[in-house]
Amino acid sequence: MIILGLDPGLVRTGYGVIETGTRGEEPRLVEAGVVEPGARGSLEGRLARLFDGVRDALIAAAPEVMVVEELYTVYRNPQTAILMGHARGVCYLAAGQAGIPVGHLGHSAVKRALVGHGTAKKEQVGKMVAALLHLRAVPEPNDVSDALALALAYANVRQHEERLRSIDDVLTDHGYARGERRREGARRGGGPQL
């Protein structure tokens, strides 16, 4: 599976493309970079440049999914949230026009998937990105590292979901739906539990 992680911003948007195998192979870096609409100029001009750059990255990478971090903000910075919303909307539009589905993860989910806890520092996440992709250094700028972290975390979550589906298939083959065997054991006053 080819996954494009995207860390949207109006000044600079990082992207990172990884490829994951279907049989548990290690992820492989395909491409990474930045789209820089710039800090100056009209909002519509910057959004147009962001759209063009993201569209070009999507066309070049042809990912099966694009992953974007969920929007969050502190109430002190509502203007930042609004601008990020504009940038995210343009990124979603580019994916929609290319027919590419968009996944999303919260920043703490990314940290948990890569480092094991949702309060990990940005440096820890960057080092894990470098380790998982066998890179000599943490990718720079941070926007690129963050985009790759999104792609890697999404791959991790998808792999976990696939394992759960496999377990469901085995349970179904043996006449149980997930949770059914537990309920059956409880009705009998004990018994095997999964």
Helices (H) then strands (E): counts for the chain: 6, 5
The Cα 109–Cα 88 span in angstroms is 19
Is the preceding omega at residue 101 within 30 degrees of 0, hence cis? Answer: no
Phi, psi of 43 (to 5 degrees): -60, -45
As annotated, the active-site residues are 7, 69, 143
Q: Is the Cα torsion angle 143, 31, 63, 116 positive or negative in sign?
A: negative
Q: Which amino acid is at 144?
A: V
Helix (H, G, I), strand (E, B) or coil at 15: strand
